[in-house]
Structure 1
């Protein structure tokens, strides 16, 4: 099965479909507009980018990723990743823990225990399980990859702090919803929860700028 990242047109169309049956979403779309996609390529480069972005702001993650890209000049062969010593990764802005995650990814690619080329042929849960078997890749990391690189439109990274805050603000909740509760709350958005996560990022970002 072939999979491709969602285009901006697809993302916006899916959000509008949710808005047709959700007046709160419709009003928010009129207020802040629609987001653009954040499409990523399939394969090792995006897995590296996910590691770089863990627990960082978008701006900080982009800065580190730019340094990593410049270091490797786009050639992310597993052996090249292993050849760079921890000091080299630290100079690029990555912690020792993230360096270990990167080395674990490289070794899994070399020994064949992780096969990203098989992911497009897997169902959602099987793909999540395959990715989260990697050290350092929790559900959030797996969902981010499957949403942005493979265009799986119902992937919803409920562990994401900005997604939680975006939902809280959108619905005027007193408290930020926990991941399990948020997955249940957003079931009516299925099968378009991925684009709606993008909208929550967009909505939260717009509200933050206004303040």
Structure 2
């Protein structure tokens, strides 16, 4: 179960979760809600960047519910990212799943404050013709194209080609990725419990960066 109540039905959560890669099915982590955090693209981006794979869920003002699974962490920049584990889905008024075609790799894109590239969030398709497009400014507007070559069997997800957002949520799935500091601390702890590995590193002329700044053990 998600660690915060989602606006979609439990049946939708179970259905979406069943299509995730098994390694991500055990945990949904609450990242962003337009109702809680406000209608701010900057706030949304700040809460989802580098948070691992995630699920985007949108309800438009016509009551259509749809979204997508982003298989890798969102990363601000000019390039598309993601893998063919990604998919789009429609949850209401009917449930449909659209897996990757491998025709192209336009799985996910996010950018903001640029002059030469579109500012917003995109899943599938091309700029101006995305499976899901969420505009950065003004936030709250989006579009869903009639066709999208990135996902198989795709049909427009919203009732109209352009839509207004009633609710938007993003959920991280699986365990939260470690920060660089946490990775370093984990590596150090592994060496502490494995003196052979520590000795091999020292023989190879490598030392741990944190070794010299540790407090001496108590006498």
Report the TM-score, using the length of structure 2 for normalisation.
0.28
Higher strand fraction (1 or 2): 2
> Which structure's relative contact order is higher, taking Cα pairs within 8 Å and 6+ residues apart?
1
Higher helix fraction (1 or 2): 1
Report the TM-score, using the length of structure 1 for normalisation.
0.28
